[in-house]
Amino acid sequence: MELTVWTYEGPPHVGAMRIANSMRDVHFVLHAPQGDTYADLLFTMIERNKKRPPVTYTTFQARDLSGDTAEIFKTAARDAVERFKPQALLVGASCTAELIQDDPGGLAKTLGLNVPVVPLEMPSYQKKENWGAAETFYRLVRACASGAGKPETAPEQASCNILGPSSLGFRNRDDIVEVVRLVEALGVRINTIAPMDATPADLARIPQAHFNIVLYPEVADTAARWLKRQFGQEMIAIPPIGVGATRDFVSAVAGAAGVDVPAEMFATGQERLSWYSASIDSNYLTGKRVFVFGDATHAVAAARIASEELGFKVCGLGTYSREFARDVREAAAKYGVEPLISDNHLDVEDAIIAAQPELVLGTQMERHAAKRLRLPCAVISSPVHVQDFPARYSPQMGFEGANVIFDSWVHPLMMGLEEHLLQMFRGDFEFHDDAGSSHLSHGGPASGHNAAGRGEAVADAAAAEARAHAPAGAQDTVANDDQPAWTSDAERELRKIPFFVRGKARRNTESYAAQNGLNPITIETLYDAKAHFGR
């Protein structure tokens, strides 16, 4: 463990709180001192929840360490069961309370509570938040479903469980709506969705389904693998993020259920990413360099969409999820980049600087880094802040999720016409950087400054026009002796370039000529410079 200002994952008991907050009729008694009681901040402010998280803290203080902290825990557990009457009780310790070794699980067993108690062992100094969430969900599923069995006669209609969506997950709330729509369109019955909005009774019904859909492996992979061993339930672990992955997901679910995919499910009208990314305007974005970082599920999916569906070039790929580093390494090898496996946001920022991307796709930490580096950025993964829990419907999964992704990723980038217009007007006498608003009066001191700027711009434009109409064979000598001159043939060739990029072409050519000691600039120099900057 190391001290840091920002962290991608909290300690494992935060993951346990995420599962408790996701479910109904579950309560979590956390043995924790004052200072570890920040669940309300996480779930009510950042996630904008209307209810307080179902967490009771023992909240012992420094003076209690000389007394009986175990008794404080017992009292808190009894009071929580009496007040909240949960179907299941989670008990565990925070990273600080772990040091005093009170053993909340053992203490809870001695209380004779009238609800099932699920003890959590959270090695706070070896594991982190996502592991804590996965372990907690696994322990709950095992406790609730162990005594269950497969129904003696399987129902004719195929059914499935959807596992993984949880509190504080990136767009999980909206993803579920899209995934349910896809699964039900295939005629497959949804048995249980967990942990989000599930109860312990719902977890007990999980073995009744034919197969499991694992949407977020960081949370549900451990439980799904246990269900496969215990009950023979197959698992589909294809997060439907992007058009291609959504089609793969639909085909896999149909195969597991033994049904055919309706032809209309793959109709192009359902998603617009494919058409938009192939349009003339979006072709300008082809080859844009993109750096991707996040949890493994979203990072791998984002790299696939960027490369295969939007035509971007992946110049960096990484994750903070060490448990799924192998998946990210395999994806990075596919795109020919060195994988970055790190939970240090400063390492990630250094990698972004080295990669020189034109777009960053990452977490809220990468959003801050990109802002400092003046790079466009879109958030694709937790950890996120309050603005990434929007009031509007904004999924990442399914065909509608693909539409949202296109907008979220492409809009921060400068489009082709936008860049041309900015270049075209950058030196304009009326629209240059120092000019005031065109609708304001030109009187007064402020407008005098603007008028002076416009006068200089007009003079520069007149000089450029004079060079453009110089007699044939004359050498066009610029005012600055350090810059090379243009031959009239080169000037005429330059005028064939569209006006909105002509200024940029002139600057690039003069820069190329100066670097290579070429004077005067000829037609050959112009085309050599074009080839140089077009690489």
Active site amino acids = 281
Element holding 104 (H helix, E strand): helix 104-109
51 in helix, strand or coil? coil
> CB atoms < 10 A from the CB of 529, how many?
23
362 in helix, strand or coil? strand
Total length of the chain = 535
Rounded distance between C-alpha atoms, residue 347 and residue 341, angstroms: 10
Instruction: Please name which of 36, 138, 124, 130 lies closest in space to residue 383, comparing C-alpha atoms.
Output: 130
Rounded distance between C-alpha atoms, residue 380 and residue 136, angstroms: 25
Rounded distance between C-alpha atoms, residue 466 and residue 251, angstroms: 66
Task: Return the half-sphere exposure (C-beta side, CA atoms, 13 A cut-off) of residue 310.
Answer: 26
Question: How many helices (H) and strands (E) would you count in the chain?
Answer: 21, 15
Rounded distance between C-alpha atoms, residue 317 and residue 214, angstroms: 23
113 in helix, strand or coil? coil
Tokens for 523, please give them: 């037609």
Residue 253, CA distances (Å) to 233, 256, 298 in order: 13, 5, 20
Rounded distance between C-alpha atoms, residue 8 and residue 4, angstroms: 10
